[in-house]
Amino acid sequence: MPGGDNSVRVAVMPGDGIGREVTEATLAVLDVLVRRHGLGVAFETLEAGAFCYRDTGTAMSEETFRRAEAADAILLGAMGWPGIRYADGTEIAPQLDLRFRLGLYAGVRPIRAIPGLPTVLADPRAAGIDLVILRESTEGLFFSRDRGTVTAEAAEETLRITRGTTERLARFSFRLAEQRAAARGRRGVVTLVDKANVFRAFAFMRSIFDGVAKEFPGVESRSHYVDAMALDLVRRPWEFDVLPTENMFGDILSDLAAGLIGGMGFAPSADIGDGHAVFQPSHGTAPDIAGQGIANPTAMLLSAAMMLDWLGGRGAGGAWQEAARALEAAVDGAFAAGLRTRDVGGKDGTAAVVAEVLRMINEMP
């Protein structure tokens, strides 16, 4: 827990591919922002990921894990590379180890339309998209990682839902809905996304959510089947608020929802537990555009804003939350002023985003 404005330590894991490019861009912006807001922070860069695995034989060493664990927050680019795999054939993904080992059960993935940016939906209400997919990030189907069995005839994986984690996720959902409702001046709505019509694990999950909902009478509690949610996220996404869901469902729906607001380059995320948190964009290492200077760093900038906000809420001080708001406003301001990245049909690359966001920050009173 940060003890004051001069004692915050952030472990930075750039990772692979465009993870490194958007991390460099984000650090350039943070460097100016923290000085303007008088925040004391030390960044320590740590190597982990697919190329680290290829070069050293380990995706994330124990020493690296311990240093990350000891930091107040972890800021991560993206990890993984299609051709680099563990012996079992799966891809290198030490970010999953961070989630499991640090108990980061709440995968907070906000989806907000950037004012003025066109979305793929023709309906003008799409400008009001402002929801959060709350992806449980330590169990569900991902519990099965390293546990699945494969024979010549069949492969099996196990989906696990526990009472303790589900209760924590439910409370996190309702509290988040309360905070969002207070900030927006309307009632909060939590919509659990599940498949309780077919699987006992989801009926169990739903019964736990229903129980916790009673502790939060001010928040409306609903549920929706995941297949219907895939439909409604395209058909009427502006109607949703907080969407807690199982790990794999959340992984899939968060990419789908990012597609509604311009793509992965606009989708930030935070994996939050009771004692630690990792802030990273929802996107991956984008091998198709890596090395060209055209990755959109917005998702990571917005993830960094989530980090500043979280650190402020944990005792680092209100100035951190002010810096978070300033960073979000600078991103919005840059796009409102005409910034257009490649993923939304423009010509602006990574450096142009940094320059425009910094211009906005420097113009702030």
Which among 275, 313, 1 has a CA at the least distance from the CA of 176? 313
Residue 96 interacts with which of Mg ion, ligand IPM, ligand NAD, none, CB < 5 to 8 Å by class:
ligand IPM
Alpha-carbon distance 114 to 353, whole Å?
14
Count, residues in the chain: 365
Residue 286 is a binding residue for ligand NAD (CB under 6 A) = yes
Which among 48, 169, 161 has a CA at the least distance from the CA of 104? 169
Q: Where do contacts with Mg ion occur on this chain (CB under 5 A)?
A: 251
Which among 240, 189, 241, 243 has a CA at the least distance from the CA of 216? 189
Burial 314-349 (b: 16+ CB within 10 A, else e): bebbeebbebbebbbebbbbbbeeebebbbbeeebb
Residue 251 is a binding residue for ligand IPM (CB under 6 A) = yes
Residue 133 is a binding residue for ligand NAD (CB under 6 A) = no
Closest approach of ligand IPM to the CB of residue 279, in Å:
12
Whether residue 253 contacts residue 212, with contact meaning beta carbons closer than 8 Å, is answered with no
The binding track of 52-91 with respect to ligand NAD, each residue x by CB under 6 A or -, is --------------------------xxxxx--------x
Cβ-based nearer residue to ligand IPM, 248 or 351: 248
Residue 23 interacts with which of ligand IPM, ligand NAD, Mg ion, none, CB < 5 to 8 Å by class:
none
Closest approach of ligand NAD to the CB of residue 80, in Å:
3
The binding track of 314-353 with respect to ligand NAD, each residue x by CB under 6 A or -, is -----------------------------x----------
Residue 98 is a binding residue for ligand NAD (CB under 6 A) = no
Residue 276 is a binding residue for ligand NAD (CB under 6 A) = no
Block residue for tokens 């607001």: 261
Residue 245 interacts with which of ligand IPM, Mg ion, ligand NAD, none, CB < 5 to 8 Å by class:
none
- Identify the burial level of 243 via C-beta atoms within 10 angstroms of its C-beta, where 0-12 means exposed, 13-18 middle and 19 or more buried: buried
Alpha-carbon distance 287 to 116, whole Å?
29
Q: Which residue is nearest to ligand NAD (CB)?
A: 284
Residue 310 is a binding residue for ligand NAD (CB under 6 A) = no
3 to 42, contacts with ligand NAD by CB under 6 A? Answer: 18, 22
Strands (E) located in the chain? 8-15, 41-45, 73-78, 106-112, 130-136, 149-150, 155-156, 189-194, 220-225, 242-245, 270-272, 277-279
Closest approach of ligand IPM to the CB of residue 11, in Å:
18
Cβ-based nearer residue to ligand IPM, 64 or 254: 254
Alpha-carbon distance 50 to 91, whole Å?
8
Cβ-based nearer residue to Mg ion, 72 or 251: 251
Residue 282 is a binding residue for ligand IPM (CB under 6 A) = yes
- Coil vs helix vs strand at 146: coil
Which of these ranges, 164-172, 241-249, 286-294, 318-326, lies near ligand NAD under the rule CB under 6 A? 286-294
Cβ-based nearer residue to Mg ion, 246 or 251: 251
